[in-house]
Amino acid sequence: MPMVLACITGLLVVSVLSLALLRHRTATPLVYGACLVISLALCAAALLSIGQASSQAVLPLGLPWLGAHFRLDPLACAFLAIVNFGAASASLYALGYGRHEKEPGRVLPFYPAFLAAMNLVVVADDAYSFLFTWEFMSLTSWALVMTRHRTAKTGYAGFVYLIMASFGTFALLFAFGLLAGAHGDYAFDAIRAHHLASGMAGLALLLAVVGAGSKAGLVPLHVWLPLAHPAAPSHVSALMSGVMTKVAIYAFIRIAFDLMGDPSWWWSLPALVLGGTTAALGVLYALMETDLKRVLAYSTIENVGIIFIAAGLALAFKASGLAGAAALALTAALFHALNHMLFKSTLFFGAGAVIVATGEQDIERLGGLIHRMPLSSGAFLAASMAISALPPFNGFASEWLLFHSILVSPQLPQMGLKLLVPAVGVLLALAAALAAACFVRAFGATYLGRPRTAAAAQAREADRWSLAAMLICATLCLLAGLFPGFVIDWLQPAVTALVTGHMPPQAGIPWLSIVPVSASRSSYNGLLLFSFMAASAGLAAVVVHRFASRTVRKAPFWDCGYPRPGILAQYSATSLAQPIRRVFGAITFAAHEQVEMPPPGDLRQARLRRFLRDPVWEFMYAPVASAVGTSATVLNRVQFLTIRRYLSLVFITLVILLVVLALWG
């Protein structure tokens, strides 16, 4: 524990020191190097101490009668490892990427502070320091989002982010207020001991879902995420998408599983329903998008939905006393959180490399980069396959666990849940299949085909640091998919602490298979599948090259006899998504197309326009925004009163309050 706190203090010190160094040329490598070292140290500490008993520390900060409590328990360790591994790889990436930053002074001081804030949220052990560090995390990330403050889009993104972040903190504040009870004992130990009435607990849980969900990007609270994440520099986008959403999920798990005590079965409903909707809608949004970083941000929303489904299932199982099943579902949630950190970081790093190399982030203006950037395209491909839940990568391992926890759901006693969970399973399968479509599209339009602009044709491979970060993360995606048993075993202390059950130990199973429930039910062995695939692909290649013709001729592409050399004849990302837009988007987004054909004799080009509507924005936020606008216009009159009237307003308010107190006091 002291070591963790010392490291976090170190990050804060780096943040302050960077202010002094700003003008210096070495500032960028120094700051990122220091962050890399400290994050690695924290990550190692978390990896090693997950199995140990929790340790606490109280610092004389914050509220005078409370102090700042910090605690390192298995759950905190699991998330510390996720946070700091993401931070370390982002720092490594930034060693190279950060040199392209035009205004390093807008990034360097906030970056270490942001890392420190995320760490502090995870180790905080009382409501006051939790909320304080949570808000600190929001503000530092907001500052990082505003790096490119000169573009109008960034300003808008920052504005929306600030509003949604404040709203989320507000909800969490009330949640903790309810949890702490009338006496206001804010230490987490006291909250754990405090038991709420059923109705109050439900309200607190709902507030926690809203608060944590707005930070994690649950639909319909996601609107800021696809604006803010892409606006930041790419290593910060990776951190916000891969790591900060995990901190939000940590908050939900901490409140729902740890602080609130024994759950009721219906607590799982908001997480299941919102999670399922989020998973399916998030990836549909991603399919409609052509900005590479926004595609990635929307896919983050999808993955957050998947994690919430798993957490909701775990809550339902825990409420019904099915400890083993709860452990399975919670392991799936934590495993997927870890996996998402790995592949989303890789993908954002790849996107950053593309932006540095071409200056473009619209996938309609890219293409053919696989020839110019072979290594980073390989890493991006691996991460794309991982995020599409395809074996032998890690995304499949965690979603496989989740599917199996859905298969256990008939053991639940509640008929409503029995019927709901398969429906959520459909949404999950839909999200997985659509994610594959989404990433075929993103990868294909960016890296494959012919370059669509001159900038894409002249791209150069990323620098060594960035490549190292990408390749390390991509390799870990593969390794975590090949040896999921080790990850599962490593996560078990955190799972056991929360749901009292645990999955069967995986290390002793022969051939490194994983077995979620029992061997006769199901087992999966990524390593064996991967070796078989590698062997048979190699064997096929050898046999074919040995016995068949080895000649290769180069020729222009054939295209069924109708080759069009023009680049516009190439399939674009928008047209790739057209069938899915027609099938799924017609209802969800009211998507339709319109052909504008000039009259005969007119030489203008015909145009095909497509129309999309964001249902969440239109039906939820636009009415709220217009209501705020209207009421602001009405209240504007209050600004032009005389002093006597202002005084009378204050006086009337005071009297009303006193009367209320007299009546109910």
Partner 1 sequence: MSPLALDIAHMFAGGLVLVSFMMLYQNRLLPLINVLSLHSLLLALSVAWQAHVQDNPDLYLTAMIALGFKSLVIPMALRRMVVRMGLHRQIEVAVGAGLTMLLGIGLVALSMDLMLRVTAGANALVREDVALALSVVLLGLLMMVTRRNAISQVIGFMSIENGLILAGTGARGMPLVVEISVAFSVLIAFIVIGVFLFRIRERFDTVDVQALDRFRGERR
Partner 2 sequence: MGMRSELAAQFTQMLLVLALAPALTGATRKVKARLQRRIGPPVLQPYRDLRRLCGKDVVLAENSSWLFRAAPYLIFAATWAAAALVPTFQTGLPFSWAGDLIAIVALLGAARFIQAVAALDTGTSFGGIGASRELMIASLAEPAMIMVVFTVALVAGSTQLSTIATFMLDKGGLRVSLAMALVALIIVALAENARIPFDNPSTHLEVTMVHEAMLLEYSGRHLAMLELAASLKLLLYISIIACIFFPFGLITGGTGLQAHAISLAAYLLKVIAASVLLATLETVIAKMRVFRVPNLLGIALMLGLLGTLLLFVSGGM
- Interacting residues with partner 1 between 416 and 435 (CB under 8 A): 416, 419, 423
Q: How far is the CB of 418 from partner 1 (least distance, A)?
A: 9
580 touches partner 2 by CB under 8 A:
yes
CB 444 to partner 2: min, Å: 4
For partner 2, the closer CB: 505 or 538: 538
- Joined together, the tokens standing for residue 149 give 């403050």
* Region binding partner 1 by CB under 8 A among candidate stretches 46-54, 179-187, 221-229, 412-420: 412-420
List phi, psi (to 5°) of 393.
-85, 175
Report how far apart, in Å, the C-alpha atoms of 514 and of each of 268, 342, 395, 497, 528 are: 27, 21, 15, 22, 11
Minimum CB separation of residue 50 from partner 1 in Å reads 41
The item of partner 2, partner 1, none sharing an interface with residue 104, based on CB under 5 to 8 Å by kind, is: none
Q: Which does 587 bind (CB under 5 to 8 A by kind): partner 2, partner 1, none?
A: partner 1
d(CA 114, CA 144): 9
- Backbone φ, ψ for residue 23 (5° rounding): -75, -15
Q: Binding to partner 2 (CB under 8 A): which residues in 171-210? A: none
Nearest residue (CB) to partner 2, 161 versus 380: 380
Q: Of the ranges 129-137, 214-222, 560-568, 657-665, which one interacts with partner 2 (CB under 8 A)?
A: 560-568
Per CB under 8 A, contacts with partner 1 among 553-592 are: 587
Nearer to partner 1, 58 or 430 (CB): 430
Give which of partner 2, partner 1, none residue 416 binds (C-beta under 5 to 8 Å, depending on kind). partner 1
- H or E element that contains 320: none
**H/E element, 322:** none
Which is nearer to partner 2, 556 or 599 (by Cβ)? 556
Residue in 182, 415, 624, 634 binding partner 1, rule: CB under 8 A: 415
**One-letter amino acid for residue 486 of the chain:** F
Beta carbon nearer to partner 2, 475 or 523: 523
Cβ atoms 431, 358 nearer than 8 A: no
Q: Which stretch binds partner 1 (CB under 8 A): 40-48, 62-70, 135-143, 413-421?
A: 413-421
Nearer to partner 2, 2 or 566 (CB): 566
Phi, psi of 593 (to 5 degrees): -120, 155
52 binds, options partner 1, partner 2, none, Cβ within 5 to 8 A by partner type: none
Q: Which of partner 2, partner 1, none is residue 533 near (CB under 5 to 8 Å by kind)?
A: partner 2
Count of residues near partner 2 by CB under 8 A: 91
583: Cα separation from own chain's centroid: 27
339, burial (CB in 10 Å: exposed 0-12, middle 13-18, buried 19+): buried
CB of 420 to partner 1, least distance (A): 8
Instruction: Give, as ranges, the residues between 417 and 456 that touch partner 2 (CB under 8 A).
Output: 418-419, 422-423, 425-426, 429-430, 432-434, 436-437, 439-441, 443-445, 448-450
The reply on whether position 587 binds partner 2 by CB under 8 A is no
How far CA 111 is from CA of 115, 287, 289, in Å, comes to 6, 31, 28
Residue written as tokens 């009405």?
634
Draw the binding track, 229-268, toward partner 2 (x: CB under 8 A; -: no contact): ----------------------------------------
DSSP one-letter code for 264: P
Nearer to partner 1, 416 or 563 (CB): 416
d(CA 417, CA 434): 25
Q: Which residue has the tokens 């390989």?
A: 378
CB of 236 to partner 1, least distance (A): 41
- Residue count, binding to partner 1 (CB under 8 A): 5
SS3 (DSSP) at 191: helix
Name the helix (H) or strand (E) containing 468: helix 464-482
- State the nearest-atom distance from the C-beta of 539 to partner 2, in Å: 9
Q: Which residue has the tokens 């740890």?
A: 258
Q: Which is nearer to partner 2, 192 or 418 (CB)?
A: 418
CA 396/CA 454 separation, integer angstroms: 37
Q: Which two structure tokens, joined as six digits, stand for 487?
A: 């990850």
Those residues with Cβ within 8 angstroms of residue 394's Cβ, 6 or more apart along the chain or in another chain: 335, 339, 342, 343, 386, 476, 477, 478, 479, 480, 481, 484
Given partner 1, partner 2, none, residue 367, with its beta carbon under 5 to 8 Å by kind, binds partner 2
Contact 246, 340 (CB under 8 A): yes
Q: Does 386 bind partner 2 (CB under 8 A)?
A: no
Cα 4 to Cα 187: distance, rounded to the nearest angstrom: 20
User: 590 contacts which partner out of partner 2, partner 1, none, CB within 5 to 8 A by kind?
Assistant: none
Query: Taking the complex as a whole, how short is the minimal distance between the CB of residue 592 and partner 1, in angstroms?
Result: 15
Which of 3, 59, 200, 540 touches partner 2 by CB under 8 A?
Answer: 540
Q: How far apart are CA 383 and CA 376, in angstroms?
A: 11
CA distance 58 to 188: 12
List interacting residues with partner 1 (CB under 8 A).
415-416, 419, 423, 587
